[in-house]
Amino acid sequence: MLKKFIAIMSLLAIVVGPNAALAQSTTTVTTGLEQDGGTPQASAPVVVAKWEMDGPTAPLLGTDAQTAAGSQIMPSGQCGQNKIVSICGIVTDPNGKNDIQNVYGDVYYPDDVMLGDSHIDAVTGQPREVEECGEMVRECTMTKLTAANAFNLFCNKIRNNNANLPVFAANFNYANVCDTANEGILAKETGYLYCCDFTMSYEDPNGEYEVDVWANDTADYNSQPLSNTMNYLATKAFDVDFNNIGYGKVKTGIWQEVPGNTIWATTPGTNGASVRNCSSTRLQIGVWQDDMGIKDPDGTTYVKYKAAVGSTANYQEYLPNLKNTDGTHKATWLEDTLDLSELDEMDFGVLVSKFPIQLEGPFNGTVELSAQAAEHLICEDGAVEE
């Protein structure tokens, strides 16, 4: 009996001992591949010219916002209204135009700009942060235009009215693209014009965006990308959800504060003030107010104000009726800066040191809000600097 017991225990040790090869529930193996083609070579497509213009493509506008060379694109300057930019490129191929398979436009953020915590992607509608300096915004797949539309857009509208808009590859120009005598690519229909409509957010940061156009062919060979910079221009725009600040009943010599909130009112009303950035720049908000008529006949006023942007910001005090040397209203610039697309509260306060006995209320006045551009958050070696 003892021998039988020892034998059974030895068998168990063999089956479940530490050196047993147990079945695995998960495992990892390596994979790999190489592109068949890919590397640019003599038979690859050639991007001969490219540009960006006011979109969408269909009207064939051929315009941008300024006369300076290159693409100058103006954001909408309105909250929620994005900008459609048409990215276009003329492509040919040594093996014939029908060897061209796909054409793409790649857009990259300015190298030194961080978006901040409030930026919303124009396409996904989700928060978007730049993880690397100058990372890609997104890529668009371009669509071929008809030969007639291609020639009309580039050789008529752009050549005659906006000639400094496109960038050309080496050894290419309007003559060898448009002129029949010079075997022009569009004139002889030996290439195609491709465009895509690219959505820029109303609050994408202003600055120079690298835009690359590249193509591949039926053998899966890639062209060299043709690059330029698109200048997305600066705007200074904001929106508020209030049209009245009601200070209520005010006691002499005591600050009366009216806090705002971050709940956006769809219909502007009294108090609960919110402000949001609709610009392609970060913004600093300025405030100016009159004295609501609380003054003596000689003009001596007895009112002082304060305001702030953001619940954690300190109030800044200012006097009424401030003027610049040219007589225009002089704003007091509030310290907290609005990031791209940021919504924050605005807080107000009033202090009346004396109600002149000859005056009867109620007292009414005007608040004037303005904005000036603030520096972007800087992307530098993975760090964010104010």
Asked whether residue 108 carries a pLDDT value surpassing 50, the answer given is yes
Residue 93 has pLDDT above 70, yes or no: yes
Q: Is the peptide bond before 56 cis (omega within 30 degrees of 0)?
A: yes
Query: Pick from 290, 269, 293, 296: which is nearest to 363 by CA?
Result: 293
Domain positions in the chain: 46-232, 238-385
| Closest by Cα among 297, 222, 287, 283 to 260 | 287
Confidence (pLDDT) at 28: 79
- Predicted TM-score of the model (pTM): 0.84
Q: How big is the chain by its Cα radius of gyration, in Å? A: 32
Instruction: Give the Å distances, CA to CA, from 17 to 2, 10, 12, 22.
Output: 22, 10, 8, 10
| pLDDT tens profile 334-360 | 999 999 999 999 999 999 999 999 998
Give 196-238 pLDDT, tens digit per residue: 999 999 999 999 999 999 999 999 999 999 999 999 999 999 9
Cis ω for the linkage preceding 362 (within 30 of 0): yes
Q: What is the DSSP letter of 73?
A: E
Neighbouring C-alpha atoms within 13 Å toward the C-beta of 324: 7
- 125 — pLDDT class (breaks 50, 70, 90): confident
Gap between the Cα atoms of 381 and 90, Å rounded:
36
The residue assigned the tokens 């998960």 is: 26
The domain 238-385: what is its CATH number?
A: 2.60.40
CB 155 within 8 A of CB 62: no
Model confidence band, residue 69 (pLDDT cutoffs 50, 70, 90) = very high
